[in-house]
Structure formats: structure tokens, C-alpha cells
Amino acid sequence: MATKIAKLEYIWLDGYEPIQTLRSKTKIERDFGGKLEDCDVWSFDGSSTLQATGGSSDCLLKPVFLCPDPARENGFLVMCEVLSADGSAHPSNGRATINDDDDDFWFGFEQEYTLIDTTTNLPLGFPMNGYPGPQGPYYCSVGAGRAFGREIIDRHMDMCLEAGLNFEGINGEVMAGQWEYQIMCKSATEAGDQIWVARYLLERLGEQYDVKVDYHPKPVKGDWNGSGMHANFSNEVLRTCGSKETFEKICQAFEPRIKEHMAVYGAYNEQRLTGLHETQSMDKFSYGVSDRGASIRIPLLAVQRGWKGWLEDRRPNSAADPYKVAAVIVDTVKGANIS
């Protein structure tokens, strides 16, 4: 059913390095049909986002994912790929690097983040002078003095559900002021689309509370957990093989490609992947059943189901681009040559 006047929020990733950030602008459409194919290709000034020069500044926005905007009447969120003026994928376009046209791969991302009070520039729950009590009580916590920012994360969950995202859940994380949400999709590209839309909604919600969303993988130095974006993935082989040997062969395909994976698993990961705080060292590789200190965890449920299920790469950090993470994982698993 057509909407008389629709507010389309076009969302894209800029060209900043080493961490891309979200940009968006609103397009008013009359008699909008309400479908992705009804969204026109649009343009923006790439010279203001480090994606073009001033003398040839136009970049294109190609709509790839559409959902309702829970914060606006007659609003829609339009996730876009960035194209160069000639219509080719822009170098900043990680989505275009995913090679999974048949959607054989399913992805579930666990997005961790830290909420920062903009008046103190400290995580919620951190006093102005000193630190809160040591981590331990904050993971999946309940109660004042342990859970900080629940009103925000609950509202974010509701907004994601209202937008129709395949939102799986939330929980408090190990450090005070640190939280996590999970999104799973039966498509590598759509999992990336939905993580970025969920990030956008969280950023916009933070504006109302004067709270910044921090995706730095080590937001507080010292004896505090970092923030990751664990990537749970499967293909038809993993979901059906029933073979320990097959799981292990796929895990082993990751070891010789450490540098390729680290290149897209997020900036400053060396501060997080130290071998401590539930991580493996950045330059080492390991895998194991139920091992949260490994590079890749083989979930206990997959073993209990007769070696049918998924794997979890624990190395991507909270600021990583889910498109690029999915792309390199798909490529590595396909390179294992198991059918």
C-alpha cells in the first residue's frame, strides 16, 4: 500500500580510516510504494566524506535494504551501498566484496559496545575519579550498581524489533557500561545490512540521552574486557555434515590466513587480542570445543547435535565492518574445498 508522504533515511558508510562511520540524510517521497525497488538511486557529496575529490564529488547511493523507521511517522530506513560516479562499487564498499550469491551462508553477529557519558567521557557506571568495582558482577547483571544504561538498551531492542530486524537478544557484558545485542540472518549480506541499521538506531537513540556509543575494541585499558563482534557462521556443509573431521578441516583452513582476517577484523585489535580476557593472541590461531579463549570456538551445541551446526570466530572486534568480516569468512570456508 502506497504511503502518501514518506521520509526515507538513506544510510551509508563513509570513507574514513581506519574505522568507517555512518552517514545519513533524509529524502521525502510522495506516493512511495513501500518496497525496496521503489527507492531511487540517490547521490551525495563524496568530497565531504573522504570518498571523492571536490572537482568530481558525486558518489551514488544504491538502496540494498529497507525497513520501517520506528522513530518517525511514515519513516523508512534505507541502507545503501556506495557506488562511484560510473556505477562501480566504491573502494569503501565492503558489501560488494561478499561472494555468496546463493545465500548458502548464515551469519549471526554478537555486537558488543560501550555506552559513554558525554559529560564525563567515561563509560556509564565509572565514577569521575577512579574505577567501579572489578569486573565480574556486570555480566548479565541485574540491579543498580551493576547494570548501567538499561533504559537505553531496552529502547534500542524495541526499536530494532519495530523495524523488523531479526534481533535475537541483549545482555549486559563483562565491563561496567558494556552491552551486547545479537542479530542473525540467513544471508551474509543481510546480516551486515541489519547490523549496520541496528548500529544506526543505537547511535540515533544515544543523541536523546547524551550518550555516545563507543565501538573501540579496548575502551578502557587495564584489567577490563575489550569489545568484540563475534561472528557465528554456517553453510550447508556445517549445518548437515555430522562430521568432527569436517568441522576441524574448516577450522584449519583459517590458520594460514591470519593476516587476511586481521586486516578486516577491526582497527586496534592488538589492544584486545592479547591472550587475556577471553581472547587468543592476535598473531596466533587455535580452535576448540566451548573454548572462549580460542580464535574459533566450536559450540558445544553443535557437538551435541552430532557435529551439525555452526562455528564462532571470536576475533572480529566491535568496530569491524560486518560486510568485510563476512566476505573473508565466506572466502576462507569456500577455500577449504569441502562439499
CA distance 218 to 267: 10
Mean pLDDT of all residues in the chain?
Answer: 96
Q: What is the pLDDT of residue 337?
A: 87
Phi, psi of 170 (to 5 degrees): -140, 160
- Provide the percentage of residues in the chain whose pLDDT is more than 90: 95
Residues 310-323, mean pLDDT to the nearest whole number: 98
10 Å Cβ neighbour count for 286?
Answer: 14
Residues 6+ apart with CB under 8 A from 251: 287, 296, 298, 311
User: Among residues 32, 23, 5, which one has the least CA distance to residue 80?
Assistant: 23
User: Among residues 31, 24, 22, which one has the least CA distance to residue 78?
Assistant: 24
Please give the model's pTM, rounded to 2 decimal places.
0.96
- With beta carbons less than 8 A apart as the criterion, state whether 273 and 281 touch: yes
Q: What is the pLDDT of residue 91?
A: 97
183: cell is: 542479530
For the cut 90, the answer to whether the pLDDT of residue 140 exceeds it is yes
pLDDT digits 0-9 by tens, 233-243? 999 999 999 99
Q: What is the pLDDT of residue 155?
A: 98
**DSSP H helical segments within the chain, as ranges?**
150-162, 188-209, 236-240, 244-252, 258-262, 300-304, 322-335
Q: What is the pLDDT of residue 3?
A: 59
Q: Specify the range with the lowest mean pLDDT, choosing from 9-23, 83-97, 124-138, 248-262.
A: 124-138
Q: What's the topology of domain 106-335?
A: Creatine Kinase; Chain A, domain 2 (3.30.590)
Residues 214-230, mean pLDDT to the nearest whole number: 95
Q: Tally the residues of the chain.
A: 339
User: Among residues 65, 88, 89, which one has the least CA distance to residue 77?
Assistant: 65
In this prediction, residue 116 has a pLDDT band, given cuts at 50, 70 and 90, of very high
In this prediction, residue 284 has a pLDDT band, given cuts at 50, 70 and 90, of very high
- With beta carbons less than 8 A apart as the criterion, state whether 154 and 162 touch: no
Domain residue limits, the chain: 3-93, 106-335
Which has the higher per-residue pLDDT, 72 or 3?
A: 72
Q: What is the pLDDT of residue 54?
A: 86
Q: What is the pLDDT of residue 311?
A: 98
Q: What is the pLDDT of residue 306?
A: 98
In this prediction, residue 1 has a pLDDT band, given cuts at 50, 70 and 90, of low
The residues with which 13 forms a beta bridge, in sequence order, are 22
CATH of 3-93, one of 3.30.420.40, 3.30.413.10, 3.10.20.70, 2.60.40.10: 3.10.20.70
- Provide the percentage of residues in the chain whose pLDDT is more than 70: 99
198: cell is: 541496528
